[in-house]
Amino acid sequence: MNTFAERIKKERNRKKVYQNDVAKVLGITLRSYQYYEAGERYPDFENLIVLANYLGVSIDYLVGRTDNPEVNR
């Protein structure tokens, strides 16, 4: 599994929300979100921002550029 897929699944579980909840926030189907967690597809730039904000982590963390999930402020 790739870093992005592992991290969105980890953070979703930490937040204690279902895949369907995240899909609704992103405005996509459940199956489309499941592709993200399986590492088969990736969100567009706008949904990447929404996803990072919703999960409360940085984009750099989600894409594996850092191991620090904190958002730079």
pLDDT reported for residue 71: 72
Per-residue confidence band for 73, with pLDDT thresholds at 50, 70 and 90: low
Token pair of 30 as six digits: 């459940």
Q: If pLDDT is split at 50, 70 and 90, which confidence band does 41 have?
A: very high
> Would you give the end-to-end CA distance of the chain in angstroms?
30
Find the length of the chain. 73
* Domain boundaries of the chain, sorted by first residue: 3-61
Q: Is the pTM of this model over 0.85?
A: yes
The fold adopted by the segment(s) 3-61 is: 434 Repressor (Amino-terminal Domain) (1.10.260)
On whether the CB atoms of residues 66 and 60 are closer than 8 A, the answer is yes
CA 14 remoteness from chain centre = 12
Please report, for residues 1, 35, 56, 69, 70, the alpha-carbon distance to residue 40 in angstroms, rounded to integers and kept in the order given.
Answer: 9, 5, 23, 22, 26
pLDDT per residue as tens digits for the range 11-28? 999 999 999 999 999 999
Question: Out of 51-55, 57-61, 67-71, which region has the weakest mean confidence (pLDDT)?
Answer: 67-71
